[in-house]
């Protein structure tokens, strides 16, 4: 059996593939020339299971998606007091490259706009850090978040540095107000190198899944950042990640997210999933056009919205075989992550002639958890295996397998 999550992601990309609105980032020559049709998406659960579709192996520069993760590094290196003294946490309601500071404090409004991200880069490591040490710091942290060594695309970096007047103007402005201590040129160069780190959609979904777990990389098990830092990063992403579209995004889609001008996007739901999407055509505010549409679909179809109440934390699932019978059991509240694990167990375990799903310890299913679980049972039935359900408290009422039939009730 193949997990339906992959079919679902393929279907979402297929449905949106024909939407060619927007254009590649024109102000960085190397990005302007990118293949605009590339399209990939990946979802990683908090257990590290990654489901990827489309152009999932294509690398692109991380660009502004580096900002929340560099903010995490600065919080770890310098502590919240120092970082908040230099960079605020208010949505700016302005474009990402606006030359503006808070009127009274002269801080950039948040770390997601260029002014705040350049100030944040300048805070990395310590007050007298060498420019190379700051770049090394983000490269090392991003690699540990992704779970593999990442690299800088020097061609993209050089291409952006040729057109960096606006970011240089921002850095000089920061220096005149004492927000930036270092040499503005060196900081902009380091920030641009940070933006040129190459990732694919799996890296992005893994990096954001590490935020979703409160900082523990799901595959390596490393606690890459503290839960407090992960919380701060997700909160600021929710408030300001989508620039001047942040309020519309948070209410309509409800997945804290960050976009980059190469066409990447990340999204995160605490205790649930990390999401990475890539599609180079951008909308008017500089967010990936089809990327945004993928998030809208996930939010709608999967009930993935930060404020979708009534969804408890995921709980454990397990499998055991008893002779020719596979017994799957779940506990607690079955939402996306638990259902994804159940589907993986259905897809991956021995091909017994009978499969029993024991939900006697389940408190409830969320809508997406119920639909995913029933689809898994339907696929098992298609493999001509008998499917049985142990559900003494009827937490999965009316378990229709799509053809009007139900599992055998135990
Ligand atoms: N490197 C880009 C810049 O500073 C990042 C902007 C973005 O991805 N929104 O302009």
Q: Which of 34, 96, 237 to mutate to test the pocket of ligand 1 (most atoms within 8 A of CB)?
A: 96
C-alpha closest to that of 409 among 342, 373, 394, 327: 394
**Nearest ligand 1 atom to alpha carbon 262:** 8
Rounded to the nearest whole angstrom, what is the distance from the C-alpha of residue 184 to the centroid of ligand 1? Answer: 16
- pLDDT tens readout for residues 315-332: 689 999 999 999 999 998
Closest C-alpha residue for ligand 1 atom 6:
64
For residue range 356-377, what is the model confidence (pLDDT) as tens digits? 999 999 988 988 899 999 999 9
Indicate if the pLDDT at residue 147 is higher than 60. yes
pTM score of the predicted model: 0.86
Q: What is the mean pLDDT of residues 240-266?
A: 90
Cα 269 to ligand 1 centroid, rounded to whole Å: 24
* Residues 261-292: b if buried by 16+ CB within 10 A, e if exposed: bbbbbbbbbbebbbbbbbbbbbbeebbbbbbb
| Residue 175 pLDDT grade (very low, low, confident, very high; cuts 50, 70, 90) | very high
Query: 117 C-alpha to center of ligand 1: Å?
Result: 10
Pocket test for ligand 1, best of 118, 187, 195 (most atoms within 8 A of CB): 195
Give the ligand 1 atom nearest the CA of 260.
8
- Among 22, 29, 63, residue to substitute to test ligand 1 (most atoms within 8 Å of Cβ): 63
Ligand 1 atom, smallest distance to 64 CA: 8
**Residues in contact with 179: Cβ distance below 8 Å, sequence separation at least 6, in sequence order:** 86, 87, 101, 106, 107, 108, 119
Residue 56 Cα to ligand 1 midpoint, Å, equals 22
Domains of the chain: 4-301 (3.40.710.10), 314-387 (3.30.750.24)
Burial grade of 316 (CB within 10 A; 0-12, 13-18, 19 or more)? exposed
Tokens read off for 99: 């030359």
Say yes or no to pLDDT of 311 above 70: no
Distance 296 CA to ligand 1 centre (A): 23
| Coil, strand or helix at 40 | strand
Residue 169 pLDDT > 70, yes or no? yes
Tell me: pLDDT of 245 over 80.
no
Distance 286 CA to ligand 1 centre (A): 9
User: How many angstroms does the Cα of residue 317 sit away from the middle of ligand 1?
Assistant: 42
Residue 350 makes CB contacts below 8 A (sequence gap 6+) with 321, 326
Closest ligand 1 atom to residue 65 Cα is 8
Q: Which atom of ligand 1 is nearest to the CA of 192?
A: 1
% of the chain with per-residue pLDDT over 90: 73
Instruction: Give the Å distance between the CA of 243 and the centre of ligand 1.
Output: 12
Choose the weakest-confidence range: 32-36, 48-52, 187-191: 32-36
**Which atom of ligand 1 is the closest one to the Cα of 166?**
10
Count of CA atoms in the C-beta half-sphere (13 A) of 388: 15
226 CA to centre of ligand 1 in angstroms = 27
Chain segment 194-218, per-residue pLDDT in tens: 999 999 999 999 999 999 999 999 9
Ligand 1 pocket: which residues have CB below 6 Å?
63-64, 96-97, 114, 160, 167, 195, 260-261, 286
């Amino acid at each position: 059996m193949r997990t339906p999550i992959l079919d679902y992601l393929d279907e979402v990309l297929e449905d949106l593939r024909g939407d060619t609105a927007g254009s590649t980032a024109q102000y960085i020559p190397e990005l302007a020339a990118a293949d605009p049709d590339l399209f990939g998406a990946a979802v990683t659960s908090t257990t590290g299971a990654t489901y990827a579709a489309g152009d999932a192996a294509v690398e692109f520069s991380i660009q502004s998606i580096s900002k929340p993760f560099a903010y995490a590094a600065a919080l770890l290196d310098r502590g919240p007091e120092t970082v908040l003294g230099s960079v605020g946490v208010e949505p700016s309601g302005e474009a990402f490259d606006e030359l503006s500071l808070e009127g009274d404090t002269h801080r950039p409004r948040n770390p997601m706009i260029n002014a705040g991200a350049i100030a944040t880069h300048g805070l990395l490591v310590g007050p007298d850090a060498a420019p190379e040490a700051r770049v090394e710091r983000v490269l090392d942290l991003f690699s540990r978040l992704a779970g593999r060594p990442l690299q800088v695309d020097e061609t993209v970096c050089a291409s952006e540095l040729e057109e960096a007047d606006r970011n240089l103007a921002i850095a000089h402005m920061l220096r005149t107000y004492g927000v930036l201590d270092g040499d503005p040129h060196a900081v902009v160069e380091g920030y641009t190198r940070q933006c040129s780190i190459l990732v694919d959609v799996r890296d992005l979904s893994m990096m954001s899944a590490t935020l979703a777990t409160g900082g523990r990389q799901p595959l390596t098990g490393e606690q890459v950042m503290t839960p407090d830092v992960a919380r701060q990063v997700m909160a600021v992403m929710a408030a300001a990640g989508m620039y001047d579209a942040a309020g519309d995004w948070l209410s309509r889609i409800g997945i804290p997210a960050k976009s980059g001008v190469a066409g990447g996007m990340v999204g995160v739901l605490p205790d649930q999933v990390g999401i990475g999407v890539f599609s180079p055509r951008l909308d008017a505010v500089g967010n990936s056009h089809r990327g945004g549409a993928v998030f809208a679909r996930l939010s709608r179809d999967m009930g993935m919205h930060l404020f979708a109440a009534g969804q408890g934390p995921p709980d454990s699932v397990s499998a055991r075989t008893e002779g020719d019978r596979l017994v799957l059991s779940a506990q607690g509240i079955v939402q996306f992550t638990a259902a994804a694990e159940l589907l993986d167990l259905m897809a991956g375990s021995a091909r017994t002639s009978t499969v029993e799903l024991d939900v006697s310890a389940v408190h409830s299913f969320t809508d997406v958890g119920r639909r995913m679980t029933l689809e898994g049972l339907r696929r098992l039935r298609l493999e001509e295996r008998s499917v049985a359900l142990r559900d003494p408290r009827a937490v999965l009422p009316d378990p229709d397998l799509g053809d009007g039939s139900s599992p055998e009730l135990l």
